């Protein structure tokens, strides 16, 4: 959630940010009307309270003088009734204002390129050589089914489309990836967390996923809880309503969780294989930092995610997202995309964002400076990594002519074998 100064004092910056993100400015007109109304109600309520106090004093004085107070009692009744009415209107306008303000996205950082969509993103760097095959590389779904490690038919029987069963060595490889990710990040100073995957609505509001992304999530209506779309939600609430001493920052966390997404609006896209599924595994990185250090920590987090792919020997590129392609809460985002030769595409395996104080305001997380001053912390999140796209990249980049798949060297101690054979 943004500081209200953007609506009242830095209006030009807010309007420019919304335009660059592709948002309509109509929302600002509604917010202005609500803000004006609630301020008028507050002013009128204060006037009525003042008059109520004056009447009370006058009644006391007249009583002492033995004078008639019937007119004052009548006025006091009218003032009390109007005050109740105004307070109710103020409360309603205030509620509507904050509900609408929650739909306003974050302000892009000045280093973010202005653009409409993914076509305007900027490739920052690329790592690794693209392999040249002496045979036609297969897509991961063909490799997985041929090796007996991915079973889409059984998954469809159980759960429908966009699910997969990982079998045998496929299940072992998936588990190895999770452990390898966690172990590597722990060695780099991240504290491992295993959080709940069912959360309350207020947790999703704090992370910025509600109310805007209601349709993207699976809701347990009976209990009014949601399956998390990412461990970012849980980690963003780890210190909710807390004040963190400055000397304890930065805080680094890493968490593995399954993630659940409805993929609303993506029908017909990436329906084959495990490119876009409803349930997947992800290791999430999260940081709480001082504002002046957040962009240094952002670059370091990107490098932490990159290191995993370098160790796996998977070609990737780092992409700086433009204003029109960034997530709702982000001030700046890098995507890390792996090369998948079987489908001849770059696939996003990680998204690393600095949301500045956007989530901290929603979650009421502040830091206490050494001089006692309090301010909101900056919060950062990133995939480190999501397993499906890495699983795809391993199958497609390490496939052999005989149909086998060579296991990256760093995973062999986790798995216990070097090659998956037909």
pLDDT tens-digit readout, 134-158: 999 999 999 999 999 999 999 999 9
Mean pLDDT of the chain: 96
Q: Is 351 a catalytic residue?
A: yes
Q: Distance between alpha carbon 214 and the CA centroid of its chain, in Å?
A: 13
* Predicted local distance difference test score (pLDDT) of residue 263: 85
Task: Say yes or no to pLDDT of 82 above 80.
Answer: yes
With a cut of 90, say whether residue 234 has pLDDT above it: yes
The arithmetic mean of pLDDT across residues 120-130, rounded, is: 98
Q: What are phi and psi of 29, to 5 degrees?
A: -65, -45
Residue from 203, 207, 234, 351 carrying the catalytic annotation: 351
So what's the pLDDT on residue 362?
Answer: 97
Provide the pLDDT for residue 266: 61
Q: What is the pLDDT of residue 269?
A: 67
Read off the pLDDT band of 270 (50, 70, 90). confident
- Per-residue pLDDT of 177-214, as tens digits, reads 999 999 999 999 999 999 999 999 999 999 999 999 99
Residue bearing tokens 């009218």: 78
Q: Kindly indicate whether the domain formed by 118-420 is annotated with CATH number 3.30.930.10.
A: yes
The pLDDT of 155-175, averaged and rounded, is: 96
Share of the chain above pLDDT 70, in %: 99
Which pLDDT does position 268 carry in this prediction? Answer: 64
Catalytic position from the list 348, 361, 368, 375: 348
When pLDDT is cut at 50, 70 and 90, the band that residue 271 belongs to is confident
CATH class of the domain comprising 24-101: mainly alpha
Is-contact 174 391, C-beta < 8 A?
A: yes
User: Are 130 and 339 spatial neighbours (Cβ–Cβ below 8 Å)?
Assistant: yes
**pLDDT tier at 267, thresholds 50, 70, 90:** low
pLDDT, one tens digit per residue, over 305-340 is 999 999 999 999 999 999 999 999 999 999 999 999
Query: What percent of the chain clears pLDDT 90, i.e. is strictly above it?
Result: 97
Q: Decide if 21 is catalytic.
A: no
Q: How far is CA 294 from the centre of its chain?
A: 16
Look at residue 388 and tell me whether its pLDDT is greater than 80. Answer: yes
User: Which residue intervals of the chain bear CATH 3.30.930.10?
Assistant: 118-420
Give me the catalytic one of 38, 261, 362, 366: 261
| 110 assigned to active site | no
382 half-sphere exposure, CB direction, 13 A CA radius: 29
Domain limits, CATH 1.10.287.40, in the chain: 24-101
Residues 6+ apart with CB under 8 A from 341: 130, 131, 133, 137, 396, 397
Q: Quote the tokens at residue 177.
A: 């990836």
* pLDDT reading at 163 higher than 80: yes
Most confident of 58-67, 270-279, 309-318: 309-318
Q: Is 11 a catalytic residue?
A: no
Give mean pLDDT, residues 346-361.
98
Candidates 175, 276, 307, 412; catalytic one: 276
269 is catalytic: no
> Mean pLDDT over residues 355-377, rounded?
98
pTM for the predicted model, two decimal places: 0.92
Are 236 and 286 in contact by the 8 Å Cβ rule? The answer is yes
pLDDT tens column, 19-56: 999 999 999 999 999 999 999 999 999 999 999 999 99
- HEC readout, the chain: CCCCHHHHCCHHHHHHHHHHHCCCCHHHHHHHHHHHHHHHHHHHHHHHHHHHHHHHHHHHHHHHHCCCCHHHHHHHHHHHHHHHHHHHHHHHHHHHHHHHHCCCCCCCCCCCCCCCCHHHCEEEEEECCCCCCCCCCCCHHHHHHHHCCEEHHHHHHHHCCCCCEECCHHHHHHHHHHHHHHHHHHHCCCEEECCCCEECHHHHHHHCCCCCCHHHCCEECCCCEEECCCHHHHHHCCCCCCEEEHHHCCEEEEEEEEEECCCCCCCCCCCCCCCCCCEEEEEEEEEEECHHHHHHHHHHHHHHHHHHHHHHCCCEEEEECCCCCCCCCCCEEEEEEEEECCCCEEEEEEEEEECCCHHHHHHCCEEECCCCCEEECEEEEEEEEEHHHHHHHHHHHCECCCCCEECCHHHHHHHCCCEECC
Q: Which of 142, 294, 389, 396 is catalytic?
A: 389
Q: What is the mean pLDDT of residues 284-313?
A: 98
- Our measurement of the distance from residue 26's CA atom to the centroid of its chain's CA atoms, rounded to an integer in Å, reads 25
Residue 389 pLDDT greater than 90, yes or no: yes
Classify the C-alpha dihedral 235-237-242-246 as positive or negative: positive
């Amino acid at each position: 959630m943004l500081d209200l100064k953007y609506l009242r004092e830095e209006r030009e910056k807010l309007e420019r940010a919304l335009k660059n993100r592709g948002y309509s400015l109509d929302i600002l007109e509604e917010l202005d009307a609500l803000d004006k109304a609630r301020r008028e109600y507050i002013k009128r309520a204060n006037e009525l309270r003042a008059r109520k106090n004056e009447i009370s004093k006058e009644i006391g004085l007249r009583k002492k003088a033995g004078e008639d107070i019937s007119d004052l009692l009548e006025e006091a009744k009218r003032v009390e009734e109007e005050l109740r009415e105004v307070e109710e209107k103020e409360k309603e306008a205030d509620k509507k204002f904050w509900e609408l303000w929650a739909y306003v996205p974050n302000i892009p950082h000045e280093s973010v390129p202005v653009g409409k969509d993914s076509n305007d993103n900027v490739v920052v760097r690329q790592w690794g050589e693209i392999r040249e095959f002496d045979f036609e590389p297969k897509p991961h779904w063909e490799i997985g089914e041929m090796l007996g490690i991915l079973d889409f038919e059984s998954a469809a029987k159980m759960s429908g489309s966009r699910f997969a069963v990982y079998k045998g060595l496929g299940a072992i490889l998936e588990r190895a990836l999770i452990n390898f990710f966690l172990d590597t990040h722990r060695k780099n100073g991240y504290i491992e967390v295993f959080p709940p995957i069912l959360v309350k609505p207020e947790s999703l509001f704090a992370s910025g996923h509600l109310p805007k992304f209601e349709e993207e999530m699976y809701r347990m209506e009976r209990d009014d809880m949601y399956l998390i779309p990412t461990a970012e939600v849980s980690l963003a609430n780890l210190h909710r309503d807390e004040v963190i001493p400055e000397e304890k920052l930065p805080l680094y966390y890493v968490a593995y969780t399954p993630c659940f997404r409805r993929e609303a609006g993506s029908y017909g896209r990436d329906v084959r294989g495990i490119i876009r599924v409803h349930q997947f595994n992800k290791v999430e990185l999260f940081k709480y930092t001082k504002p002046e250090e957040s962009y240094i920590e952002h670059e370091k987090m990107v490098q932490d995610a990159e290191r995993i792919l370098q160790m796996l020997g998977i070609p990737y590129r780092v992409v700086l997202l433009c204003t029109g392609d960034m997530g709702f809460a982000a001030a700046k985002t890098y995507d890390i995309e792996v090369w998948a030769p079987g489908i001849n595409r770059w696939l996003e395996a990680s998204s690393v964002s600095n949301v500045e104080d956007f989530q901290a305001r929603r979650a009421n997380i502040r830091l206490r400076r050494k001089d006692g001053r309090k301010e909101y912390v900056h919060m950062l999140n990133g995939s480190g990594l999501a397993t499906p796209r890495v699983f795809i990249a391993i199958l497609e980049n390490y496939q052999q002519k005989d149909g086998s798949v060579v296991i990256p060297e760093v995973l062999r101690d986790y798995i216990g074998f070097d090659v998956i054979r037909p």
